[in-house]
Amino acid sequence: MEGILPLFKPAGLTSHDCVFKLRKILKTKKVGHTGTLDPDVTGVLPICIGKATKVAEYITDAGKAYEGEVTIGFSTTTEDASGEVVEKKNVDRTILREEIQKVLDSLTGEIEQTPPMFSAVKVGGVRLYEYARKGIEVERPSRMVTIYSIELLDDRTEFSGETIRFRFRVSCSKGTYIRTLAVMIGERLGYPAHMSNLIRIQSAAFTLEDCLTFEEVEKLMETGEISTVLRPLETALSYLPKLQINDKVAEKVKNGAVLPIPEHLKTTNGPIIAETADGLALAIYAKHPSKPDLLKPVKVLRNE
């Protein structure tokens, strides 16, 4: 069995729980997820099966999109609805739509974020959530992330009440914490805040419309039709630049040969896919570290 299964992750399960469950359903051990989703978060979780596990990191590295809800008026230990209240401050004024829009605009582009204590980021070889569960607060390294766009999904012109909620859609780079983004929105409005709901609507080329539930996967396994819904590993690499090769070069690529950089790829710095004329991805290449005119194989995907 080989391919990518776009799974709809339900609430209450970790990404690892989903992998464990699918190993049982699919009766195969070679199953991997493509980036952690918090237990409370639902939505798109591409699962790599068989040889497709080789490209999991390229789905993880691709952009993501989410629809979330921010609650203004109190913050929590986890920065989402599952945590304990840390700070409370009633919203004592009407917040205008224009003010919220201005804040969202100010958070678009490259921004600096500090990962929450309840996160999987490692500090000193230990995941932050392990420190947090013991009540230990450690210094967390900030990181730069990119917010490509944020859209307010609320038609109101005025927002009032002791707490206020509104939904938003965000498209962002890998490593972005939407929980932290919700907190930042609140801070810029002058109030403590947290993310009260989140669904991932896109991961790389996969959207909600592509996703299958566990129940649907089980039925397809029972009827022997599971292969009809598995996406080829090339789907995960669709956003990367391509180098098309002929059959003669393909044999060299399968054996890990270095290749000359074609003119149209000389300004490319990231991974490059070496593919056949019919679109079969054979290997992932990158610029050679010491020979500027050559490409070096990073990962051979197919050598049969």
Active-site residue numbers?
38
Q: What SS3 class is residue 298?
A: strand
Pairing, β 242-244 against β 85-88? unpaired
Q: What SS3 class is residue 56?
A: helix
- Phi, psi (5° rounding) for residue 202? -155, 140
Q: How far apart are CA 1 and CA 16, in angstroms?
A: 20
Residue 178: CB partners within 8 Å, gap ≥ 6?
Answer: 66, 68, 170, 172, 195, 198
Q: How far apart are CA 93 and CA 240, in angstroms?
A: 48
Residue 247: CB partners within 8 Å, gap ≥ 6?
Answer: 276
Q: Report the Cα–Cα distance between both ends of the chain, in Å, rounded.
A: 16
C-alpha angle 269/273/278, rounded to 5°?
150
Q: What SS3 class is residue 129?
A: helix
Residue 256 tokens, joined: 């890990």
